[in-house]
Amino acid sequence: MAKRLSENKTADLSVHAQDSEDAADAAQEGRAHGQESWGAKRRQARAADTKRAIEKVNQTIQSVGDTAGRKLGSAVRAKKSAGRHERLESKAFAEV
């Protein structure tokens, strides 16, 4: 047989139930907030990764441009030098 609960016991159980509901609601809101926070952190991390990748590409492009410029300069100097060498050879053969 079930015993009747006293008013005090009923009031205590009611308060406990209300506290449990409040805690569950707070946990649910906290979890939602935590997920939003996690999503924001994830977006920030992706943005930072994207920025680093863009900077790396820009550095690579700059490096390739510098290397290409040096190689082009070397090629131009070599061509001029070869042209001078050919002119000197042709003069030498003309004199012979």
Does the pTM of the predicted model rise above 0.75? Answer: no
| Separation CA 30–CA 46 (nearest Å) | 24
Helix (H) or strand (E) holding 3: none
pLDDT in tens, 13-55: 788 888 888 888 887 777 666 666 777 888 899 999 999 999 9
| Separation CA 46–CA 39 (nearest Å) | 10
